[in-house]
Structure 1
Amino acid sequence: MNDDKCFDTVAKVWQKRIEITPNSIFLAENGHHYTYNQINYLVQKQEKRLLSYGVKKGDIISLQFELDVEGIVNILACINLHLVINPLNPHFDMDEVKNLVYRFKPYLIITQQSERGRDTLFRLNNLTNYRIDTYEDCKVFIRNSHEICLAKEKNETNNPVVILNTSGTTGVPKGVVLTNKNVLSAEYAYNKAFNVNNHDMIAIASGMYHAIGFHHGLVSTIIAGSAMAILRHYSIDNIVDLIKNEPITFIDSVSTVIYDILF
């Protein structure tokens, strides 16, 4: 993939990657390796489930997952259907999450049962203006109507692909809307600056709700045809084991994680 593709869409970049290197390793989790093609098979299954809920292009879909294969599959399914992802930090308390739901009014909220008993949306048995469905270890909140649709531009590169939450200067989580062009131009530049290529495997400890996880983990990897090794639950012991057991070539994370590794 060349730099002249950097103003495409994330969906097209993913589809092109499947054509080019379907059998290359894309994800490593707990010693299990998944090729691009294997993940794409799961993505296509999830697309059918999302369509069964009546999603429309430009709908906002909130996803509250740990850093795992299931969460990444959901993100890619949303991207392929031209939905706008709003990844929610599983560490948010209920007031923070409800505030975001009130402001963004996502059409779907998909939340995963937490192994550590966190205060996630999965624990809610009702949510105003939403009906509930469940499948496997997930709960789905389906809004009664499509109130917000963010896809407006004829040029799809200018359409939103993700809303990342940040506290910014307010201390209250708020959403930053990023287009395909925003995300891809940043990650083509990132890969060029750090010479990320198809021989690399990045260790990711930041969730997909974080710019490092979504941008420098997921999107950078797809562009380069490289691989990600993910940790559902971060600890210094877990990341040391990951480095010992996988052919990690680099790590990108927040400063506190880098400090743990170095000291």
Structure 2
Amino acid sequence: MKRPLLTTDYLDRAVTLYGDDVGVIAEDGTEFTYNELNDRINRLSNALLEWGVEKGDRVALLSPNSHRFIETLYATMQIGALFVPLNFRLQPNEYDYLVDDSSPSVLIAHTGFTEKVDHLKETTAEAGTSVEQWVAYDGAAAGEGWHGYEDVLADHSPEKPDRPDLSEEDDATILYTSGTTGDPKGVVHTHRIQHYHALIHSHHVEFEDDDTLLWTSPMFHINGWGHIYGLTGIGGTHVILEQFDPGTVFERIADHDVSYLGGAPTVLNMLLDYYEDADVPSTGEKPVRVETAASPPPKSTIREVEDELGWRIIHAYGATETGPIVTTSNSQRKIEQGDKYDIINKPGFATLNTEILVVDQHGEPVPTDDETQGEVVVRGNQVLDRYWNKPDETHRAFHDRRDGWFHTGDIATWDDNRMLTIVDRKKDVIISGGENISTIEVQDVIYEHPDVQVAAVIGVPHEKWGETPKALVVTEEGSELAEDELIEFTRERLAHYKCPTSVEFRDSLPQTSTGKIQKYELREEFWDDEEKNVG
């Protein structure tokens, strides 16, 4: 028998089997059973339908972690529309492209971020912005032209709307990358892709219906790595954390008996630093698992997390385009057979029904010697369908070195266990605190300064963030440009996490015969005594 794999299957199972159980604990402590959550989802779906949202239309959400994020995702998808989560950390002008590219007919926003898109609302008529309905969590506080989210729900029926005829091949979501090689790319995942990824990811992180997940990772990151589906369908409990704070994390772990959380190594280090000076419990009654991605945690961090906090680390790797997760280090057999901390430190090997290769420039697999470098390519049911409105980029992604495989752009080695070690980014991406930063984007802004002649941005080691942007600059003759002046110049034009934290002025930068700056030479100066692992 063949049935379509839909994202809504996870919600439906939770309502059917766990309807009277608490499914979500909101930021303010309000508890919602899965039945209550479903009623709110249906109310929002009915509002969207009343506003004319149809199958294939887009609904955008600008929000930190919230129970309303879960509601908007399912309310959008069950009527066949595409859910478009937006990074709430961007600058106002950075939303212009995202809204223009995805053309949502409805935009919902946390009230603390409505000012970032108000300029789009004000110019709707003359600029041709697609958004017809604007919804804020607190409409009165957001101001004129914004519906109140709770008012919208109160005005509409909790009855389940008639769902359109959905196919597993229908588009479910558009997830924007960080724009590391130019404009952000909209990654299109179908219902099948999101559903399938949630299945395998839930297995590898060992979800059960008594699990309680604390949302320490941003939900807008690839729809919460798929846990909005997986944990919901399994019948676990979501505990919302709107803004990361170490003290609040430990408080909620104890209060709600949290058993699972996620976070970049930066998050782990912040939690360890807090725990060292605070007299707080690190667990409730249940043991805690923590999944980490982005830069791999140093072995010393892994030891501290496991020895001091008593948590078990699961390291994974992937990308927006791949579900995200395509590898995992969660292998008890491999850990028992080898160096535990060496195994956990690696991004791991392929997840269930996923194919991973590390290939040379001709598309052939490199030796599994943990030394020879190549590009990571992937095949699997969780890999993207296409880039939104970018057919050429889509073709290149699947037909570069090896035909029919998705090319991640990540350079890696692999060992005889076929476990990856990510050693660099093909496109010079900086990963700082779990956020991808395009050096090209930052350089373009620096070049806008009239005193800058040549500039290169690289990632350099940072104790807290793993790595951080550093600008190396040659100024125009006679310039008196100062470090703090240039940093402030970028902070006025970019999201602050993208901006250089240091600037070094030089007489020249190493270049090839064609004028291309040799960044690898610059990086060697700063990473010579450090492990450069980005995964």
Q: Which runs of 5+ in 1 are unaligned?
A: 141-153
The one-letter amino acid of 1:246's match is H
Change (3 A) 1:194 1:70: closer
Whether 2:84 is the aligned partner of 1:73: answer no
Change (3 A) 1:118 1:108: closer
**Alpha-carbon distance in structure 2 between the residues aligned to 1:137 and 1:161:** 27
The one-letter amino acid of 2:171's match is P
Whether 2:272 is the aligned partner of 1:262: answer yes
Q: Using the TM superposition, give the Cα deviation of residue 251 of structure 1 relative to its aligned residue in structure 2, in angstroms.
A: 0.9
Q: Paired residue for 1:241? A: 251
Q: Paired residue for 1:173? A: 184
> Does the CA contact (< 8 Å) of 1:111 and 1:120 recur in 2?
no
Deviations along 1:214-235, whole A, 9 cap, x unmatched? 513x112122111111111222
Q: Percent identity?
A: 21
Q: Paired residue for 1:31? A: 29
Q: Using the TM superposition, give the Cα deviation of residue 155 of structure 1 relative to its aligned residue in structure 2, in angstroms.
A: 6.8
Q: Paired residue for 1:121? A: 117
2:46 to 30, 36, 48: 48
The one-letter amino acid of 1:28's match is I
Q: Using the TM superposition, give the Cα deviation of residue 79 of structure 1 relative to its aligned residue in structure 2, in angstroms.
A: 1.5
Whether 2:14 is the aligned partner of 1:13: answer no
Structure number with bigger Rg: 2
**Alpha-carbon distance in structure 2 between the residues aligned to 1:233 and 1:38:** 24
Deviations along 1:27-77, whole A, 9 cap, x unmatched? 112332211011111111111211111000111111112211223212221
**Alpha-carbon distance in structure 2 between the residues aligned to 1:171 and 1:39:** 39
Deviations along 1:182-217, whole A, 9 cap, x unmatched? 11111111111222010101111223211262513x
DSSP-derived class of the 1:156 partner: coil
- Point out the more displaced range, 166-175 or 66-75: 166-175
- Point out the more displaced range, 164-173 or 18-27: 164-173
Aligned length: 244
DSSP-derived class of the 2:12 partner: helix
Q: Paired residue for 2:530? A: none
Change (3 A) 1:43 1:159: same
**Alpha-carbon distance in structure 1 between the residues aligned to 2:41 and 2:200:** 27
**Alpha-carbon distance in structure 2 between the residues aligned to 1:160 and 1:259:** 38
The one-letter amino acid of 2:68's match is E
Change (3 A) 1:203 1:6: farther
> Does the CA contact (< 8 Å) of 1:93 and 1:119 recur in 2?
no
**Alpha-carbon distance in structure 2 between the residues aligned to 1:155 and 1:75:** 16
Q: Paired residue for 1:159? A: 170
Change (3 A) 1:16 1:5: farther
Q: Paired residue for 2:504? A: none
- Point out the more displaced range, 195-204 or 120-129: 120-129
Deviations along 1:118-176, whole A, 9 cap, x unmatched? 75224643333244555662536xxxxxxxxxxxxx87111111111112531543211
**Alpha-carbon distance in structure 2 between the residues aligned to 1:237 and 1:11:** 35
Q: Which runs of 5+ in 2 are unaligned?
A: 140-145, 148-164, 274-535
Q: Paired residue for 2:84? A: 86
Change (3 A) 1:168 1:90: closer
DSSP-derived class of the 1:158 partner: coil
> Does the CA contact (< 8 Å) of 1:187 and 1:219 recur in 2?
yes
DSSP-derived class of the 1:109 partner: strand
- Point out the more displaced range, 189-198 or 119-128: 119-128
**Alpha-carbon distance in structure 2 between the residues aligned to 1:222 and 1:234:** 22
Deviations along 1:69-113, whole A, 9 cap, x unmatched? 223212221121111001011112122111111112122222231
Q: Which has the higher contact order (CA 8 A, sep 6+)?
A: 1
**Alpha-carbon distance in structure 2 between the residues aligned to 1:112 and 1:126:** 20
> Does the CA contact (< 8 Å) of 2:176 and 2:186 recur in 1?
yes
DSSP-derived class of the 1:228 partner: strand
Whether 2:206 is the aligned partner of 1:208: answer no
CA RMSD of aligned residues (A): 2.5
The one-letter amino acid of 1:9's match is L
**Alpha-carbon distance in structure 2 between the residues aligned to 1:219 and 1:50:** 21
Change (3 A) 1:48 1:193: same
Q: Using the TM superposition, give the Cα deviation of residue 6 of structure 1 relative to its aligned residue in structure 2, in angstroms.
A: 9.3
